[in-house]
Amino acid sequence: MKKFIQSLPKVELHLHIEGSLEPELMFELAKRNKIAIPFNSHEEVRAAYNFHNLQSFLDIYYQGANVLIHEQDFFDLTWAYLLRCKADHVMHTEIFFDPQTHTARGIAFDTVVKGIDRALTRGHEELAISSKLIMCFLRHLDEESAFITLNQALAHKDKIIAVGLDSSEIGNPVQKFERVFKKAIDHGFKSVAHAGEEGPASNIRDALELLKVDRVDHGVRCTEDPALLAQLIAQKIPLTVCPLSNTKLKVYKNMTEHNIVELLRHGVCVTINSDDPAYFGGYMTDNFIAVADAHPLSKAELAQFTVNAIHASFISEQEKQPLLQRTLDYLEQN
């Protein structure tokens, strides 16, 4: 089964590019950019990755991003992630970036987008991995900062497909972002939001009703509200679930308790993703294996996660066809 999972074609829809910063690259960039970091070795960094909730992770994650300064740094970060995608048979990926984490440090929006986009373009040409870029607003910051960020994004509309909402869910309800999401949608951006990761099922309802999102990031707490669960199934609203993230951040005590397989069998358009792989101990294949180790799954069920992700992706129906074909061919031949 591990061999089947390793080579299974995959699609990733929930990946924070800053969360793919491996300790080795963090050290290299810190040295290159002469940035002091509070660790003496890679081992020390990894030992610090012991989280008890989302906030304890975010504090370290924002600190790690401080080493990213130049366009080349964002290129190197993204390219390293794409090589992991290649190894894991990821055909298509839709990645998040957090512009405010960088603009708050005086890094230009353009520098960030250009570095990431250059790597994504090369990834398409040299690795045959297609991609889309999603810009997230940080929900612990105010509406004004989100509007400034959206205005900066308008010059890069050709490179950014959607807006998203991430950072601390508890204490930062979506109401604050209703107007900025409306403006983004009016400009033609698609939209997603983290909801129901640590926060209650009502946050998922709010993201759907107030922000009008096309899909929900995490959303695992939907099972606490049967009517909401029925709505997700009926309206085919995708959930981008991140199993290793959820156990690392103590949303679930262990993978056996995770509801992802229950969601799949209920007919929810649920997908498997890696979130912040450098911090949570694994990329796409690792996440699939962690789920399959805790929950016996058939090959068809494993492939269904990819089929769901293809349907949930922001590429055209025409672009989806070869990805679906490749997945179904793989299932038939293996």
The residues carrying an active-site annotation are 197
Q: For residues 63 and 67, what is the distance between their CA atoms, to the nearest angstrom? A: 8
CB of residue 241 to ligand ADE, shortest distance in Å: 11
Site string for ligand ADE, 284-323 (x = CB under 6 A): ----------------------------------------
Are 119 and 93 in contact by the 8 Å Cβ rule? The answer is: no
Are 194 and 218 in contact by the 8 Å Cβ rule? The answer is: yes
Does 19 participate in binding ligand ADE (rule CB under 6 A)? yes
Angle at which helices 299-312 and 284-294 cross, to 10°: 140
**Closest-CA residue to 316 (of 207, 219, 190):** 190
* Phi and psi at residue 210, to the nearest 5°: -90, -40
DSSP 275: B
Residue closer to ligand ADE by CB (options 76, 166) is 166
* Phi and psi at residue 83, to the nearest 5°: -65, -35
Q: For residues 135 and 133, what is the distance between their CA atoms, to the nearest angstrom? A: 7
CB of residue 79 to ligand ADE, shortest distance in Å: 20
Does 12 participate in binding ligand ADE (rule CB under 6 A)? no
Does 221 participate in binding ligand ADE (rule CB under 6 A)? no
Q: Which structure tokens are listed for 216?
A: 């929900």
Does 167 participate in binding ligand ADE (rule CB under 6 A)? yes
CB of residue 301 to ligand ADE, shortest distance in Å: 25
Does 16 participate in binding ligand ADE (rule CB under 6 A)? yes
Which of 61, 275, 292, 294 is in the footprint of Zn ion by CB under 5 A?
275
Does 18 participate in binding Zn ion (rule CB under 5 A)? no
Site string for ligand ADE, 147-166 (x = CB under 6 A): -------------------x
Does 276 participate in binding ligand ADE (rule CB under 6 A)? yes
Task: Say whether 216 sits in a helix, a strand or coil.
Answer: strand
Size of the site for ligand ADE (CB under 6 A): 11
The footprint of ligand ADE on residues 70-99 (CB under 6 A) is none
Q: For residues 317 and 90, what is the distance between their CA atoms, to the nearest angstrom? A: 18
In the chain, the N- to C-terminal Cα span, in Å, equals 10
Does 22 participate in binding Zn ion (rule CB under 5 A)? no
Q: Please report, as ranges, the residues that interact with ligand ADE according to CB under 6 A.
A: 16, 19, 54, 61, 166-167, 194, 197, 245, 275-276
